[in-house]
Structure 1
Amino acid sequence: MSSTMTKPDTSLWDQQRNKIVSKKGGWFVGDGIYCHGYDMMDELVGKVSYMQVVMLNATGRLPERHVADWFEAVHICLSWPDSRIWCNHIGALGGTMRASAVASTVAGVLATDSRSYGIKPLKEGVAFIQAAMASLKGGLSVEAIVVNECEKHGGKPYIMGYARPIAKGDERVLAMELVAKNLDFSDGEHLKLAYDIDRELLARFNEGMNINGYMSAFLSDQHFTPEEVYRICATLVASGVSACYVDMRDRPAETFLPLRCDDIDFQGKPHRTL
């Protein structure tokens, strides 16, 4: 190294060298296993739900049981055993090709880390409704919020959390509204705004709120950030992917959407002798 060069400051890495440092917890031999300050065996196992622990690990906060129960319900609501859905399609392909259940399920889950569907749009939905609430409190009307957002997309109602590409309406919203009612949740300010945006879009474009919009507003009222929602929902579709994997794993191999040679529209050079 040249004498004129400044030696880089490596103190941050030196402090971590040859050791693993955790701010979340761990196993202390002879003492116990700790998770975010809780003794897992004495305070969590058998005393809280699995979903409460998932949320604890994702946010660092142990939620009340009814919030975790709502989250568990939405995991059921958003993971269907339908192999036409992208992530489930991957699980089914894994089953038909005799990949392992773990590899197939994880690959399907990874497919939801997408900008067009899955978990990232949910993160964007939370960010949108929270920004819309800030605009509303800043004096902007619901109509202006909708107009401004549509102008970003050439006047079209491309608002994260609203409209569906295939069907009108969203039966999942009705299901989760009933869950919220049964768990004694009341509509908060974000959800009320989401319903106002829903009415504005229905009047203007005949497009309404989808499950993303409902979830985003509901969870904003529970004081979750976009990143926290993204982390909690990381494995949201795992159950449906596993179902589609098992469906094809239990059938003869390579029978999921098989192709004949003449199913391929080959547009290259014609057949030739090698």
Structure 2
Amino acid sequence: MKMNNNIIEYWNTQRGKIRSRKGGWRVGKGVFCHGYNLLEDLAGSHSYFQVLILQATGRLPDKKFADWCEAFFICLSWPDARIWCNQIGALGGTVRASVVAATVAGVLAGDSRAYGQRTLVEGLQFIQGALKEKRRGLTARDIVHQECKRQGGKPQIMGYARPIAKGDERIIAMERVGKELGFDVGAHLSLAYEIENVLLDEFDEGMNIGGFVSAFFSDQGYSPKETYQICSVLIASGVTACYVDTYDRPPENFLPMHCDDIDYQGPPPRPVPEK
């Protein structure tokens, strides 16, 4: 395979060295993070969520936004082993895996285009694109119909609708938190509510927490990529809770099955031919 000489030259400049644009430990001088001294400037004077967002984006947010994000993480920290990613944690506990292995595996299971933190990427892309369309003259109804047309006539818009239940109680909690912290409803969130009204009117489907958060992060100036980076371990504490729940019981207690619990629909039993 022919290798691009520019790539080889670049690799040679990196050989035997670790470079960072984020920071690091300078022996005798301190630990630095995006220009801040981690131990002197941040520890004790800023919250963990402020530093988490700084590490993920390179920008230190005000405490108000960091507190809002912390509340959002709490809203996604359900200790319910029926949730697919939490089941991974529960299975880890029941087979006596380490808490780190089980939690990380659960977080990976949440990294899905259909559910979990990755959906925020598409949610932000949608609402940011929708606001651009609105500023070009389209109404919320136009945007919904345009998106439904792309989806074959179905209202499958990321950030809207929800399996099993109607509505989303987590939005109510985050609206309360936003009001208490003094946040205004921005342009993206305002449009998200308009789109929700159209979907409720025509399809009886409302906004979910992903749509709400996508609009909120957009109003705070965050990109889809930055939001995904901030929320990388969004569901971790719920996974850990389900791990601890099964670990504290006898081994292999989580969802044991009989052979006849399995609805086998393959070929019927057949003899193994003799050699």
What TM-score bracket applies, with the shorter chain setting the length?
over 0.9
Question: How far apart are residue 152 of structure 1 and its match?
Answer: 1.2
Partner of 1:238: 236
The residue correspondences of 1:198-209 to structure 2 (distance < 5 A) are 198-209=196-207
Question: How far apart are residue 272 of structure 1 and its match?
Answer: 4.9
Partner letter of residue 269 of structure 2?
Answer: P
Partner of 2:134: 136
Partner letter of residue 85 of structure 1?
Answer: I
Partner of 1:218: 216
Partner of 2:269: 270
Report the RMSD for the aligned CA atoms in angstroms: 1.7
Question: How far apart are residue 268 of structure 1 and its match?
Answer: 3.7
The one of 35, 44, 47 equivalent to 2:45 is 47
Partner letter of residue 21 of structure 1?
Answer: R
Question: How far apart are residue 7 of structure 1 and its match?
Answer: 7.9
Question: How far apart are residue 270 of structure 1 and its match?
Answer: 2.0
Call closer, same or farther: CA 1:194–1:7 in 2, change over 3 Å.
closer
Question: How far apart are residue 132 of structure 1 and its match?
Answer: 0.1
Q: TM-score, normalised by structure 2?
A: 0.95
Call closer, same or farther: CA 1:259–1:52 in 2, change over 3 Å.
same
Call closer, same or farther: CA 1:202–1:265 in 2, change over 3 Å.
closer
Partner of 1:68: 66
Equivalent-residue separation in structure 2 for 1:131 and 1:235 (angstroms): 26
The one of 227, 242, 247 equivalent to 1:229 is 227
The one of 151, 154, 157 equivalent to 1:153 is 151
Question: How far apart are residue 208 of structure 1 and its match?
Answer: 0.8
Answering whether residue 24 of structure 2 is matched by residue 26 of structure 1, we say yes
Partner letter of residue 263 of structure 1?
Answer: D
Partner of 1:110: 108
Cα displacement string for residues 200-220 of structure 1 (whole angstroms, at most 9, x for unaligned residues): 111111111111111011110
Partner letter of residue 223 of structure 2?
Answer: T
Partner of 1:248: 246
Question: How far apart are residue 265 of structure 1 and its match?
Answer: 3.4
Question: How far apart are residue 269 of structure 1 and its match?
Answer: 4.3
Partner letter of residue 241 of structure 1?
Answer: V
5+ long unaligned stretches in structure 2: none
- Percent identity at matched positions? 59
Partner letter of residue 19 of structure 2?
Answer: V
Call closer, same or farther: CA 1:238–1:223 in 2, change over 3 Å.
same
5+ long unaligned stretches in structure 1: none
Structure 1, 7-16 or 85-94: larger mean CA deviation: 7-16
Partner of 1:8: 5
Equivalent-residue separation in structure 2 for 1:147 and 1:75 (angstroms): 32
Partner of 1:79: 77
Answering whether residue 257 of structure 2 is matched by residue 259 of structure 1, we say yes
Equivalent-residue separation in structure 1 for 2:219 and 2:166 (angstroms): 26
Equivalent-residue separation in structure 1 for 2:181 and 2:95 (angstroms): 42
Question: How far apart are residue 120 of structure 1 and its match?
Answer: 1.4
Give the secondary structure class of the aligned counterpart of 2:122: helix
Give the secondary structure class of the aligned counterpart of 2:5: coil
Partner of 2:192: 194
Answering whether residue 99 of structure 2 is matched by residue 101 of structure 1, we say yes
Give the secondary structure class of the aligned counterpart of 2:118: helix
Cα displacement string for residues 220-260 of structure 1 (whole angstroms, at most 9, x for unaligned residues): 00000000000000000000000000000000000100011
The one of 167, 170, 173 equivalent to 1:169 is 167
Partner letter of residue 70 of structure 1?
Answer: W
The one of 168, 176, 185 equivalent to 2:183 is 185
Give the secondary structure class of the aligned counterpart of 1:246: helix
Question: How far apart are residue 119 of structure 1 and its match?
Answer: 1.1
Cα displacement string for residues 147-178 of structure 1 (whole angstroms, at most 9, x for unaligned residues): 00011112111111111121111101000000
Equivalent-residue separation in structure 2 for 1:115 and 1:61 (angstroms): 26
Q: How many residues align?
A: 271
